[in-house]
Amino acid sequence: MPVGLIPLDLPEPMAMIFSQAPRSTADLVAPLPQSRPHLANGTHAASRGRATLPGPGILRVRPLPLEATASYLGRVAGIYHLTLPQFLGGLGITLAGAYPGTSVRSSDIYLNTAAQHRIAAFAAMPLRHLARALPHFGRHTGHATDDGIGQETGPAVASWQHLEPSEQTRRACTACTAQRGGGIAFTLPHGHQRLCVRHQQWAASVWQPGHLNVRALPELTRVYHANLRLLRRPEAAATYRIAATITNQWHRHHQHLAPRWQARLRRLAADNQALRDQSPDSSPARQAHDAITYPETIALTVALATLPRTPAGAPPQALGHIAAHLQLTRFTPVPRDPVWNAIPRHMRH
């Protein structure tokens, strides 16, 4: 492999693509097409006093829904064996600032309007399509919906921006990514959606060595489909986070549903070598807790969202309602159980 090119099979290829600086002008532009795009009326952009946009790339990489802009650009750069600064530099885009850290989950790239046009031209995709798939694509300048090209005369600039913890990205389904050009993709969080129903993968967290194969847990898919309409409500994401916090504590303290979750973990370990290599109290097995508790987290989300509108001083009805959704014959939380804080909040809504 020529010096300066990034192999695609390194343990942390995305971090290397993001962080390395370009070596020379030849490295930046040699692998990229040099054609001059024509406007709708057949004239060149340069002939009308505008910056010449890059021609469409030879290889196609499609963005995933909710993919981070840095993830998509990194995948495009990787397929040409370029670092991200090399790729952007070859398109005439200045990358402002250095890569801000070692985790691709905590940062994303924002593009000004001129840079958006250059990326869209090279990707051969309308701006509105990219903006729909990449939530941060037009964030720097508002909505990227203009499909015209060659409209911006200012410098094209991309800049790293830190993401809030609630926005930090997670690994996308590997099978979905392979169908859209390959590489390693990171998507923005969207409530409870860690499950790829089509490929039966559970999205890895930053601590997990890889995605989990959840084909042995068909109840995850059943509960997802059964409650899809309710979970699409705007307020469902906040209720899901509350429910996930509660079930996480129940799992840590082996409360209420421990036998059910232990049986589920054994089934999951049969299809995931990383879980078999460790004891149940070690890191990989513990990080599977969000998958094995997912049906009960969804059930608790639904229970909280549909609590009877009774006075806050009448919790027995609420406990019976929650127990029914969790399929428990007896539900007696201890005084410090976090569910006690969630009940009055949702009964008042």
Say whether both 255 and 326 belong to one domain.
Answer: yes
Say whether both 155 and 221 belong to one domain.
Answer: no
CA distance 127 to 137: 9
Within a domain: 241: yes
User: How much is the pLDDT for 282?
Assistant: 58
User: How much is the pLDDT for 349?
Assistant: 53
Say whether both 136 and 219 belong to one domain.
Answer: no
Within a domain: 164: yes
Say whether both 169 and 233 belong to one domain.
Answer: no
Say whether both 147 and 253 belong to one domain.
Answer: no
Within a domain: 203: no
Q: By residue range, what is the domain housing residue 111?
A: 13-179
Distances, alpha carbon 128 to alpha carbons 49, 88, 180, 312, in Å: 25, 20, 18, 47
Within a domain: 5: no
Within a domain: 124: yes
Within a domain: 257: yes
Say whether both 22 and 160 belong to one domain.
Answer: yes
Say whether both 153 and 225 belong to one domain.
Answer: no
In order along its 349 residues, the chain shows pLDDT tens digits of 332 333 333 234 444 444 444 433 333 333 333 333 332 333 333 334 456 777 788 888 999 999 999 999 999 999 999 999 999 999 999 998 766 655 667 889 999 999 999 999 999 999 999 999 999 987 655 444 444 444 556 899 999 988 887 778 888 888 999 999 988 899 887 756 788 889 999 886 655 657 889 999 999 999 888 877 777 777 888 888 899 999 999 998 888 999 999 999 999 989 888 787 765 555 556 768 889 999 999 999 999 988 877 655 567 888 999 999 999 998 999 999 999 999 887 775 5
User: How much is the pLDDT for 43?
Assistant: 33
CA distance 256 to 261: 10
Q: How many domains does the chain have?
A: 2
Per DSSP, 48 falls in state G
Boundary of a domain, candidates 136, 152, 179: 179
Q: Dig out the tokens for 312 from the structure.
A: 């806050």
Say whether both 87 and 233 belong to one domain.
Answer: no
Say whether both 225 and 104 belong to one domain.
Answer: no
Q: Which of 214, 198, 205, 223 is nearest to 270 (CA)?
A: 214
Say whether both 143 and 85 belong to one domain.
Answer: yes
Q: Which of 338, 328, 343 is nearest to 258 (CA)?
A: 328
Query: Contact at 8 Å (CB) between 275 and 285?
Result: yes
Boundary of a domain, candidates 179, 195, 228: 179
Boundary of a domain, candidates 160, 179, 198: 179
Say whether both 222 and 302 belong to one domain.
Answer: yes
User: How much is the pLDDT for 73?
Assistant: 95
Within a domain: 202: no
Q: What angle do CA 123, 129, 131 make, to 5 degrees?
A: 100
Within a domain: 27: yes
Say whether both 237 and 299 belong to one domain.
Answer: yes
